[in-house]
Amino acid sequence: MPPTKKSAAALLEPHKSRPTRIGLVSGGLGAYWPQFPELLPQLEESARYVTSRFQEMDAEVIDAGFISDASQAVAAGEKLRLADCDLIVIFLATYLTSSMVLPVAQRSGSPVLVIDLQPTEAMDHANFDTGAWLAYCGQCPVPEVANVFRRAGIEFRSVSGYMTQDSAWERISQWVNAAGVRARLRNARHGLMGHLYPGMLDVATDLTTVSTTFGSHVEVLEFDDLRERVKAVTDSEVSERLALARELFVLDESVNDDDFAWGARVSVGLDRLVKDFDLDSMAYYHRGLAGEQHERLGAGMILGSSILTARGIPMAGEYELRTSIAMLTAQAIGAGGSFTEIQTLNFFDNVVEMGHDGPAHLAVSAQDPLLRGLGVYHGKRGWGVSVEFDVRPGPVTTLALGQDPDGSYVFATSEGEVVPGPLLAIGNTTSRVDFGGDPGLWVDRWSQTGTGHHWALCLGHRAADIKAAASLLGIDHRHVSLAQA
């Protein structure tokens, strides 16, 4: 029986991951409550509004309530510690002492964001008394809190504004997105299958530093793990996967039926591999020889890898573990993230042409992606079907996970615009990116960031989100702009 649209849609169900966990505590100085009886109810209403805004975000909110003294702060900090939060948000509803926030930050062990949002844009000076003013006094303790956090070795970040200010909530959302990246990487299981592409020294990655920096686990896999799962795939499962592929892709006349069926069979096997090892991303490469089975497996992975990437499980070729991590980072902020490298420069149009063969993120495609049959994979052994499309016009961000001489990691970003124009039709994902100036100068500056050969191409201008994520992860962020002096 042929698969239905419903069954095909089920195969593309997004990969589930633990939601971002936000710990929230609000507070003010308890000495005010008997002096100004109307103040606490007003501040508690503000705290409820702040809580509701966080609950509207795609996150799990652990609300530790409203605190009025240091002992309550200790209890709130302990509650949030046990919750294992990805970000602690402290809402300064009015003045409070730094002794009321330090225990929360110290005990939680998580990154901390301080927010102070006054009720409106400005006070009504002619009609306000002291109690009404104190509801607008959340900014007052920010320097005090910053000083104590600095002396305690706690990294400080804050957002100041008013309660319904869109720009303030955009900044807060950036930190929530950053916490999502931290959570995604802290709990991620990265698959690494095969071996290094011979000679690509930049791709070599110390697996221990991935775990010590991000908290991720790297599962070392063999192509034999895939081989046995592909061997178990049934003909009916292949037919189902072929039907899904026909819904997702336009088939070029160059596609060979046998190669298409092999790609579908490997795709089902890949799904099983990812499920069996509970993977959140994977990087792979195998050279192979003379059409033997491992060569055919490596050459048959593009279809299945692209489908998995579309589901939120990034797949990177050429053993590019750091790029699969960058792709997962992009996925965590909802920015796609497709496997990318420089292809050429166009000095007439001032664009960098970039893309890659192999797995691609279907979400960044301008139109329905194409499956093209290739008799040769350039620089690699094997043959089969490859994914081809033009990247959607509009703002994009390049995101690389680079590495410094001491082994530390760095997020590198650059923002540009995908613009229309001629592109090669060779079974690659391709794009023309305008970075606002001489493309050769962009290459020179980008190459100084610590990036390797590959990176993730993300939808939208997301450098601010990546900068925030770098802050929470404790790594550097470097941004390239041709507007730099």
pLDDT tens for 68-85 read: 999 999 999 999 999 999
Pick 121 or 383 by higher pLDDT.
121
**Look-up of token digits 């592929």:** 245
Report whether 184 contacts 193 (CB < 8 A): no
Q: Give the Å distances, CA to CA, from 28 to 106, 137, 140, 459.
A: 19, 10, 11, 41
Per-residue pLDDT, 376: 52
Pick 113 or 307 by higher pLDDT.
113
Per-residue pLDDT, 374: 61
- Vertex 158 angle, CA 395 and 44, to 5°: 115
Average pLDDT over residues 158-182: 96
Q: How many angstroms separate the CA atoms of 338 and 481, rounded?
A: 21
Report whether 443 contacts 342 (CB < 8 A): yes
Quickly state the pLDDT bin for 423 (edges 50, 70, 90).
confident
Q: In the predicted model, is pLDDT for residue 244 greater than 80? A: yes
Q: In the predicted model, is pLDDT for residue 236 greater than 80? A: yes
Q: In the predicted model, is pLDDT for residue 53 greater than 80? A: yes
Q: In the predicted model, is pLDDT for residue 380 greater than 80? A: no
Report whether 159 contacts 312 (CB < 8 A): no
Q: How many angstroms separate the CA atoms of 301 and 282, rounded?
A: 12
Quickly state the pLDDT bin for 1 (edges 50, 70, 90).
very low
Mean pLDDT is lowest, of 160-174, 231-245, 292-306, for 292-306
Q: How many angstroms separate the CA atoms of 446 and 339, rounded?
A: 17
Q: In the predicted model, is pLDDT for residue 361 greater than 80? A: no
Q: What is the pTM of this model?
A: 0.89
Quickly state the pLDDT bin for 6 (edges 50, 70, 90).
very low
pLDDT tens-digit profile of 276-306?
Answer: 999 999 999 888 777 678 888 888 888 898 8
Q: In the predicted model, is pLDDT for residue 2 greater than 50? A: no
Per-residue pLDDT, 16: 66
Average pLDDT over residues 24-34: 97
Quickly state the pLDDT bin for 250 (edges 50, 70, 90).
confident
pLDDT tens-digit profile of 194-205?
Answer: 988 888 888 899
Q: In the predicted model, is pLDDT for residue 106 greater than 70? A: yes
Average pLDDT over residues 387-416: 91
Mean pLDDT is lowest, of 232-236, 335-339, 412-416, for 335-339
Per-residue pLDDT, 300: 87
Q: How many angstroms separate the CA atoms of 350 and 78, rounded?
A: 55
Quickly state the pLDDT bin for 254 (edges 50, 70, 90).
confident
Quickly state the pLDDT bin for 388 (edges 50, 70, 90).
confident
Per-residue pLDDT, 249: 84
